[in-house]
Structure formats: structure tokens, C-alpha cells
Amino acid sequence: MILIADGGSTKADWIALNKDKEEEFRVRTLGLNPAVVEEEELNNRIINMFQLINVKDDVLEIHFYGAGCGTPKPAKILKDVLQTIFINAKIFVAEDMLAAVYAASGKEPALVCILGTGSNSCYFDGQNIEMKTASLGYVLMDEASGNYFGKILVREYYYDKMPKYIAEKFEKEFNLDADYIKKNLYRTPNPNMYLASFAKFMFEFKEEKYIKRIIKKGFQEFFKYRILPFEKDSSTPLFFIGSIAFYFKDILDKVANKFNLKVTDVIQRPIDNLLEYHRENFN
């Protein structure tokens, strides 16, 4: 059996294939970002999914593509956790950017971007991934990501910049007590996921000018820092992965046009495309 996983900070999608590359099942666990989740918790999030544990001795390969796996140390942490559980498997751990490339452009050159809990981008020349800068995560980077917009919404609420009728709904949906917020930001695991939880609120008000303004500004920053430095023109395919891009595609298209670029496609969940790529290109 082979397991293919696309793991973000919030969730990880798994698909199990039999020896004939036929799908046996698919499940979703909590996020498995080894850069922000402790080793013990990584282990717990996997072993608590009974579908995975029921087949752990039958798994011969795992291809895991995940947020936080772009540098050696956290990637090794996750690989070691997986190896202790799936003792008969060969483990391959790579960054989520590679999964995005496989899911979006396959083997064709393209600019590929992720707008999920976090954000990232790369240029794929058909063989190699080029990244202009390493990602420093939710505190310093992650423009136009879920945690980026969540941070803005909380700040806007506290500075009384949010329209009153939206602020009233924001209050009903979230615990906005200052001590509670600070506890989740500074004293509990996964503050990036916590911030991103606020961003879902935007989907309900996606037609409001206030929300559109915030989204537009975030997308402009993403293009400025994460796309324009590659110096590609409109002939280069441009793909986006993730719910932020998916639900606000109309604004994304307009921002891209402003920079003389065109969005080729937006993929909300890459796992199905990733599955097809593995079926066609892996033995």
C-alpha cells in the first residue's frame, strides 16, 4: 500500500492506494507542520486516525508533501515520526510547494503559488523549483494567507476600523477577549492556525467593499514580494492553490491583470491532482 499526503498547517489530506494504484480510502487529519507542531503532537495526530493505524503494517511507501518541510531539520522530525509508526515503509518527505507544482502544472513550466493558512510561491522550469527567498512564516511573511488576513481582522476590530454591522457579527462568532487572544497567540501551539481561523469570516462578507479592500491589499503585497521578483510575463502560466485564492478569485484576477499577468487556474484542494500525477509518473 502507498500513502500520498498533502499536509498544511490546518489539515492534512491522505489517500491510500493499493498495488494497482487504485484508491482504497482517503482521510483528513489535523495539520502536520513540523515547524510549529511538537513531535509528540505530530505522532498523536496520526495515530488517532484509525484508518491510518489499521493499515500501518501494510504501508510500503509514504509520499508526504507538507508545510514546514522545506528545511532539513523539521522535515527530518516528521520523517522520523512517520517511520516509527509505519515501520515497513519508505518515507519521502518534501515541502508543500512541490505538491503544488505537481498538482498545478505537472511537468510544464509555471509560476505556482500557495494561499492557504500560510503562503508561498515558486517558479518551476519543468524540472527544478526556483524560490526567490525562504519563507520565514507567519510572523514576518505569509502575505495574503489565512493567518495574514486573520491578523488584519483582529487589529481592525480592536482599532475600531471595522464597520459596525460587521464588527457585531465578528463579536458573535469569536471570543475577542484580549486575554483569550493573547493566550492563543503566545501561550498555546499553532498560533498561525489560530489567526487563520478568523480569515474564514471573510467568506461570509466577500461582497462587502470593506472585505474586498483588505483582500485586494493583501493580494497586491503577495504579487509585489512573491511573484514580480521572478520577472515573468503574461505568457507564463500562473497557478494558485488554496481556499483564499479560490474564494476570492475575482479579486485575484483583477490584481493579476494590474500587473499584466493572467491567472491560469485556481485549485482549492490539490490532493486529487496530486493523486493523478503520482499515478502517471511514479512506479
Encode pLDDT of 41-68 as tens digits: 999 999 999 999 999 999 999 999 998 8
Show the CA angle centred on residue 217, arms to residues 71 and 227, nearest 5°: 45
Read off the pLDDT of residues 1-20 as tens digits, 9 standing for 90 and up. Answer: 999 999 888 889 999 999 88
Identify residue 61 by its one-letter amino acid code: E
| pTM, entire model | 0.86
Q: Are 147 and 198 in contact (CB under 8 A)?
A: no
Instruction: Say whether pLDDT at 282 is over 80.
Output: no
Determine the Cα–Cα distance for residues 283 and 189; give it in Å rounded to an integer: 38
CATH number at residue 90: 3.30.420.40
Domain assignment present for residue 23? The answer is yes
Which tops the pLDDT comparison, 272 or 28? 28
> pLDDT of 169-219, one tens digit each?
999 999 999 999 999 999 988 898 899 999 989 998 989 999 999 999 999
Inside any domain, residue 7 = yes
What average pLDDT does the structure give for the chain?
Answer: 93
**Structure confidence by residue, pLDDT tens digits, 230-279:** 999 999 999 999 999 999 999 999 999 999 999 999 999 888 888 888 88
How far apart are the C-alpha atoms of 51 and 24, rounded to whole Å? 10
Examine residue 71 and state whether it is found in any structural domain, yes or no. Answer: yes
Judge whether 74 lies within some domain: yes
User: Per the domain annotation, does 33 fall within a domain?
Assistant: yes
pLDDT at 120 over 70: yes
Predicted local distance difference test score (pLDDT) of residue 166: 96
Query: Cα dist. 128→10, 138, 174, 231 in Å?
Result: 27, 26, 43, 17
Q: Is residue 54 part of a domain?
A: yes
- How far apart are the C-alpha atoms of 113 and 101, rounded to whole Å? 9
Q: pLDDT > 70: what percent of the chain?
A: 100
Residue 57 lies in a domain: yes
In this prediction, residue 168 carries a pLDDT of: 96
pLDDT tens column, 149-168: 999 999 999 999 999 999 99
Overall domain count for the chain? 1
- β-pairing, 61-66 vs 2-7, is parallel
- Does residue 241 fall inside a structural domain? no
User: Of all helices (H) and strands (E), which one includes residue 12?
Assistant: strand 11-17
| pLDDT (tens digit per residue) in 77-116 | 999 999 999 999 999 999 989 999 999 988 899 999 999 8
Range of the domain at 60: 2-99+271-281
Judged against a pLDDT cut of 70, whether residue 283 lies above it is answered with: no
